[in-house]
Chain A
Amino acid sequence: MHRLKCVRFLSRQFARLGYQAGTAWRTGSNWRWLGTGSRRRFFGFGLIGGSSLLACRDTATDEKAERLLGSPVSRYGGRSPFETAGRHLRTTRTPESSSSRTPLADSSGILTPSSLHFERHHAGVPGIDPVEHRLLIHGMVDRPLVYTVADLKRLPSVSRACFIECAGNGGSEWGPRTAPDVQQSHGLASCSEWTGVPLSVLLSEAGTKSESSWLLAEGADACKMQRSVPLEKAMDDAIVAFGQNGEALRPEQGYPIRLVLPGWEGNTSVKWLRRIKVWDRPHMTRDETSRYTELLRDGRSRQFSFVMEVKSVITFPSGRHKLPGPGHYEIRGLAWSGRGAIERVEVSTDAGHTWIEAELQEPRLPKAFARFRLPWRWDGGRAVLQSRALDELGFRQPTVADLVWARGASSAYHNNGIKSWQVAPDGWVSNATA
């Protein structure tokens, strides 16, 4: 009898879930709404899950009751239907040229699941047959070479965790009207374990000529997205990656192969890599002149600003969270630097008047996400939460005001400023500035 009740209860809850998810998707044309909706559903699922457990507990203690079998083995695993975190899609007239953002507040540890890694495409995701795909290396080399993906997989490979961050991440944070949650303000950054061939191996096989100093990397998407990269970086730690988080790259992450330039602005990690031209100067492509350059207040523009500087953000409590009441919480967040490992993160709960060093969770890998946490007793009053990071080279995260002072308010890219979250006495967390 208990069992039957439990099954009925669960099936009712699942039906409800399906209904809610269905209506959300049907009305999901407004993505901003869906963002808030999904959070509401998330809490809803939590309640359902909790009460289902309670309902089942009676059964579990009844040793004479029969138990239902679970699901059978499957070829490719999916997540629990109770888990709903998803990428936040930017609404554009041309969804092929758009972006989606990682739900950082729902993440754990330092790796981003491949399915939630942020996206930025300029002409859609190409469907590439890996057997047909080729990588050409040419230009100022002793011998041009064409590699198949199978060739590349025969060469010595490396694996490393590193973040990729779009240079435009934090673009919403320059002015007084900032993004309402951390997914929208900082979600153009993700961290994966990448596996592939060091680009230095391929360049050495082709033999770069002594006069060469740059390369041009080109993708196989419809617009053949391309960037110039200094050869020094290519020989240092660049990877031609075919693996991400233990499996093949996802199509939207460059399948079958992409460039990964650890610590550099995401646009340079060219996806669907098809061609590398070794040259003696940059080609001045559209995405290193008209885009991805920072217009300074004096009218000049900062070009080839490749490194993503030291940055951190609190992911809990963050925008749109609600604290149920005063008491103990753990402030959590992520920090990263394109120059190396994170040395220290400090947290303030009083809008930057006093700072406390947060605990850094291992592992702390260079040019990868690092997770920090700090126990906090909320007294129920207004609080403004901030974090600031220091990397192992001594670079410290600036305030947005510092950045505006140095570069003006029109530089658009590379905003690594300190982010504030305000906790109101009713427990709601918002993007209100300090």
Chain B
Amino acid sequence: MQRHSERVSVYWQLRRAQAPNVRQLVNAMCGVPKSIRAHLTRSVGACLIVLATAFLGMPSRTALGAPAQVYGLGAIPSDTEVRAWDISISPDGDGLPKGRGTVQQGADIYSIRCAECHGQQGEGGDAEALAGGHRTLRSPRPLKTVGSYWPYSTTVWDYVNRAMPFDRPGMLTADQVYAVVAYVLFLNGIVEQAAELNEDNLADVIMPNRDSFVPAQELDPVIEPSRPGIQGQ
């Protein structure tokens, strides 16, 4: 995090240093009379004034304290537009829409929309298995399913919502997605048969394999085969 903000700040310093011609920038940014512009560009604190002028010229594009746009292209969407585009779901449940669905409701939808490819009990078929495979990950034949492998219940919700059913992605309502996820988690013994999932409790479901994922950057110094004795000569 720290490294990134340093990076961004260095980037902006470079951007400013690279600005080829302060006068051009001023000309482009606002319609101040020429004589005043010439005076400004000659002044010692030109850079600061450019930023201030940009702020005055395009107030809608510039948040207070934020660097101005260099090129000023692109439109600023309304909050409503952004909300309509943004279907992402975070592991903490951020972004989950209101809705609810039970295991029982999920079973009905699953048998119509999912079972043909994934099997009646999630055992797999033309598409991958969704249930089973518990305690197989260390075996020679690991079975990676939602129950045995997927680390977050929110990922299941998000993926069903955006990509399933395969032939008609996007057709399920939020309630139906909660229901199908509840059923798939039930098939894996992760929630009870009487369970209902909604936007408040989905992210609280702890998946069995949640803590088994390690960023490669942390692993590689230990296990990267290219490194010991091979890096360099």
Q: For residue B60, which residue of chain A has the nearest CB?
A: A143
Query: 22 A-B pairs, CB-CB below 8 angstroms?
Result: A136-B77, A138-B86, A142-B67, A146-B74, A146-B76, A155-B71, A211-B1, A226-B162, A235-B8, A284-B155, A290-B144, A293-B213, A296-B223, A299-B137, A300-B212, A301-B214, A302-B214, A304-B217, A394-B231, A395-B231, A398-B225, A402-B225
* B4/A212 in contact, CB under 8 A: yes
* B8/A409 in contact, CB under 8 A: no
> Which parts of B57-81 form the interface with A (CB within 8 Å)?
61-63, 66-67, 69-71, 73-77, 81
Q: How far is the CA of A358 from the CA of B88 in the complex (A)?
A: 48
* A299/B88 in contact, CB under 8 A: no
Chain B nearest Cβ from A411, distance in angstroms? 10
Q: For residue B65, which residue of chain A has the nearest CB?
A: A142
* A226/B225 in contact, CB under 8 A: no
Given A142-B63, A145-B75, A290-B149, answer yes or no on A232-B158 (Cβ-Cβ < 8 Å).
no
Q: For residue A230, which residue of chain B has the nearest CB?
A: B4
Given A143-B63, A204-B12, A299-B138, answer yes or no on A281-B90 (Cβ-Cβ < 8 Å).
yes
The CB with the most chain B CB atoms within 10 A, among A277, A297, A406, is that of: A406
* A277/B88 in contact, CB under 8 A: yes
* B76/A144 in contact, CB under 8 A: yes
* B215/A303 in contact, CB under 8 A: yes
Chain A nearest Cβ from B191, distance in angstroms? 19
* A123/B76 in contact, CB under 8 A: no
Contacts of A173 in B (CB 8 A): none
Interface string of B204-216 (1 = CB under 8 A from A): 0000000011111
> Which parts of A379-396 form the interface with B (CB within 8 Å)?
393-396
Our pick among A97, A286, A304, A405 for the contact of B215 (Cβ within 8 Å) is A304
Contacts of B75 in A (CB 8 A): 145-146
A interface vs B, CB < 8 Å?
93-94, 97, 122-123, 136-138, 142-147, 151, 154-155, 200-201, 204-205, 207-208, 210-213, 216, 218, 222-226, 231-232, 235, 274-275, 277, 279-281, 283-286, 289-290, 293-306, 309-310, 393-398, 402-403, 405-407, 409-410
* B213/A205 in contact, CB under 8 A: no
Our pick among B62, B169, B225, B231 for the contact of A406 (Cβ within 8 Å) is B225
* A286/B67 in contact, CB under 8 A: no
* A200/B82 in contact, CB under 8 A: no
Q: Is B7 an interface residue (CB 8 A)?
A: yes
Q: Is B142 an interface residue (CB 8 A)?
A: yes
* B7/A235 in contact, CB under 8 A: yes
The size bracket of the interface on B is 35 or more
Q: Is B230 an interface residue (CB 8 A)?
A: yes
Given A232-B7, A286-B163, A295-B137, answer yes or no on A143-B61 (Cβ-Cβ < 8 Å).
yes
Q: How far is the CA of A409 from the CA of B141 in the complex (A)?
A: 10
The CB with the most chain A CB atoms within 10 A, among B152, B162, B217, B226, is that of: B226
Contacts of B233 in A (CB 8 A): 394
Q: How far is the CA of A205 from the CA of B62 in the complex (A)?
A: 10
* A204/B89 in contact, CB under 8 A: no
Chain A nearest Cβ from B14, distance in angstroms? 10
Contacts of B146 in A (CB 8 A): 290
* B71/A205 in contact, CB under 8 A: yes
Given A204-B11, A396-B226, answer yes or no on A299-B212 (Cβ-Cβ < 8 Å).
yes
Q: For residue A403, which residue of chain B has the nearest CB?
A: B225
